[in-house]
Amino acid sequence: MRSIIYTVAFSLAAFPGFADPLPSWAASENKTAIIDFVESVTDPASPDYVTPDARIATFDNDGTLWSEQPLYFQFLFSFDQLRMMGAADPSILTSDTLKAAAKGDVETVVAGGKDALVEVLVAAHSGMSAETYRSSVSEWLTSATHPETNLPYDQMLYQPMLELLRYLRDEGFETYIVSGGGIDFMRVFAERVYGIPPENIVGSSFQASYQVIDGVPTLMKEGELFFYDDKEGKPVGIYRHIGRRPILAAGNSDGDFQMLEYTTAGDGARLGILVRHTDSDREFAYDREGHIGVLDRGLDEGPERGWAIVDMARDWSQVWVSQ
């Protein structure tokens, strides 16, 4: 039996398409760093060997696994949701901000700053059961398309990151999303598109309540913030939800700084990855400035901390998921 296994492994190695766990990553020091890291923590003979139960990898979502321009997709969902909710019952549009959102007037809402965005989020994400909310997101994903690419949102996934998720799982890692986005929002599609099950999603959330309504036990989404899983919140979210420090963390913005800091400060081999959006032709180009996905401190301090700064234009031979 053993000789047969050796033979198979040997034949696969002869075909680079099979042997390369990250085919959409161009040859680069970053690709080498990732593969070297995975090999060092999975080889029982390596001084950096990590037992499978401690192979925890955490990924930001917006801008790391899928796109986030011109606005987080969850905000774009909220605008569409308010349009539908407002059409059914105009009385719910109780402010100029909500009226603007229901008209799809993104500029006016964004001009209102953080308070206006939160108002839109709250209105689109509360006062309904978790089940009703899930159906709305699911329906939206099958019908809405991105204003610039015209792609369905759940096709604006990065093929190289999907390969990385799969590679890690094949090597015994448990993969998690740790995102500032809403936990309920991501759970609708994360298992289907990323292979990451509901229990492995850490995210922001509003309060929830349990009520028996007409005899039916129901989880209701409420309008007050419960947990904001961004910046310092990410290590806190990891600590609460996972209870172990990751050995690999990937993000793309300063909202991920503390997650990478916490992850890479642990003992033994650790890997921090920051995706830098450098590709205006195939995706978008932005980093130090803007209202979404600002990457500033990470660019300054990441290299000296040993984090891999992935240059999308240079390091990825393909951007979007293969259909």
The residues binding its own copies (CB under 8 A) are 53, 130, 174, 183, 187, 197-199, 201, 205, 208-210, 212, 216-217, 219, 232-236, 239-244, 258, 261-262, 265
- Smallest separation, CB 307 to its own copies (Å): 14
**Count of Cβ atoms closer than 10 Å to residue 318 Cβ:** 15
Separation in Å, CA 90 to CA 97, 102, 107, 125, 139:
13, 10, 21, 17, 21
Q: Tell me, what amino acid is at 241?
A: H
- Smallest separation, CB 160 to its own copies (Å): 27
The residue behind tokens 């850490």 is 202
- Smallest separation, CB 243 to its own copies (Å): 3
When the beta carbons of 242 and 285 are compared against its own copies, the nearer one is 242
When the beta carbons of 16 and 215 are compared against its own copies, the nearer one is 215
d(CA 7, CA 33): 28
- Smallest separation, CB 199 to its own copies (Å): 5
When the beta carbons of 43 and 232 are compared against its own copies, the nearer one is 232
- Smallest separation, CB 71 to its own copies (Å): 25
Beta strands in the chain (DSSP E): 56-59, 128-129, 174-182, 201-213, 216-227, 248-251, 271-278, 285-286, 308-311
When the beta carbons of 86 and 235 are compared against its own copies, the nearer one is 235
When the beta carbons of 63 and 235 are compared against its own copies, the nearer one is 235
d(CA 173, CA 105): 43
